[in-house]
Amino acid sequence: MITALAGGVGAAKFLLGLVRVIPEEELTVIVNTGDDIELYGLHISPDLDIITYTLAGIVDEEKGWGVKGDTFHCLEMLRKYGYEIWFNLGDRDLATHIHRTLLLKRGLKLSQATKEICKSLGVKANIIPMTDDKFETWIETDAGLMHFQEYLVKRGAKDKVLGVKYLGAETAKPADGVIEAILNSELVIICPSNPIVSIGTILSVKGVREALRATKAPKVAISPIVAGMPIKGPADKLMKGLGLEVSAYSVAYLFRDFLNIFILDYMDRNEKEEIENLGIKVILANTIMKTLEDKIGLARLVIEEALPRK
C-alpha cells in the first residue's frame, strides 16, 4: 500500500499520474478537511471532492475543482432569494454536498460518507478525510479573522495575512485508518500541496506527525514551490504571513523531522545543497505538471527513487 497526504488541485494532478503507475486499489489518500465549510446548510469538503472528482474522471480540468460541464442554475435561484453566492457550487456538485450532508445527518462519519461517494463514482483508491471531527482553518488578516474560503474565494486572498489558526486541532482525532495507513504503508508521499493550509493541517491532527516519524516507510515530498512561487494558490502569502521565506527549502525545513526524500524542481537546483544539509536526499525533476505525461513521469520518478525494486 502507498499512502499520500493531499490538499486539493496540486495533489489531484499528481495522483492522476500515480494511479497510472500503481494500481488504484493500492493507494490510500489522507485528505485535508481544514477547507471544509458549511453553506446553505450543506457540508462542503472542497479537497475531498477535488481528489474524488479527479480520480473519477469528472473534474473540471480547467479550474481543477467542480464537475466538468456543470451548470449553475441552483446558485442563480439562490441569488434571487437574496443569498450571497460567492462560492461557485455547480448543480451537479451540489448533489454531492446534499448527499454528503444527508449521510452525515443519518449518523455516518465523514469518512464513511466519503467511502459511499467514492463507491458511487467508481473511485477505487481509499480516500480518507484527515479527521471526522470538526476542523476549520481560519486566517488572521489585517481585515479580521475569517474562514480560509472567505479569505481565498470571497475576498480573493487580498488581505494581509497575520497568522493561521487551525480551529479544532486540539481535539480532532485522526479518522479511522489514518494512522494505520501511515504506519503500514511501504511508501508515504507528501503531495505538492500548500504546506500551511493543506499539509500543515493534516500534520496538526493528533498523532499524524508522530506516525510519520515512526513508520518504516520512506517519506517523499514533492515541492509545491517553484522559483519562489506556489504553482497555484496562496501559499506564498500564507508563508510570508507566518514569517517564512517562500522557497522550496522552507517547505523541506517544515518537514525535516520525518522527510527522507525531497523532489526539487530543476529551477531551484541552487537550493539542493541547503536541503541536503537538513539530512534529506534531494532529487531534481520537472515538477510542473502540464500534461498527463508530466504527471505520470513525476509519479514514476517518485516510485523509482523510493521503491527501487517496484
Contact region with ligand FO1 (CB under 6 A), list: 85-93, 104-112, 137-145, 204-212? 85-93
Is residue 93 at the binding interface for ligand FO1, with CB under 6 A as the rule?
A: yes
Is residue 88 at the binding interface for ligand FO1, with CB under 6 A as the rule?
A: yes
Cα atoms in the Cβ-side hemisphere of radius 13 Å centred on 204? 22
Position among 6, 18, 89, 178 found at the interface with ligand FO1 (CB under 6 A):
89
**According to CB under 6 A, which residues from 33 to 72 bind ligand FO1?**
35, 46-47, 49-50, 65-66
- Grid coordinates of 49: 471532492
Total binding residues for ligand FO1 by CB under 6 A? 17
Closest distance to ligand FO1 from the beta carbon of 107 (Å): 24
Position among 153, 246, 267, 284 found at the interface with ligand FO1 (CB under 6 A):
153
Contact region with ligand FO1 (CB under 6 A), list: 4-12, 173-181, 265-273, 296-304? 4-12
Contact (Cβ atoms closer than 8 angstroms) between residue 252 and residue 280: yes
Position among 149, 201, 204, 287 found at the interface with ligand FO1 (CB under 6 A):
149
Closest distance to ligand FO1 from the beta carbon of 292 (Å): 21
Closest distance to ligand FO1 from the beta carbon of 91 (Å): 12
Of the two residues 66 and 195, which places its CB atom closer to ligand FO1 in the complex? Answer: 66
Of the two residues 9 and 259, which places its CB atom closer to ligand FO1 in the complex? Answer: 9
Of the two residues 116 and 293, which places its CB atom closer to ligand FO1 in the complex? Answer: 116
Of the two residues 153 and 167, which places its CB atom closer to ligand FO1 in the complex? Answer: 153
The residues of the shown chain that bind ligand FO1, judged by CB under 6 A, are 7-9, 35, 46-47, 49-50, 65-66, 87-89, 93, 149, 152-153
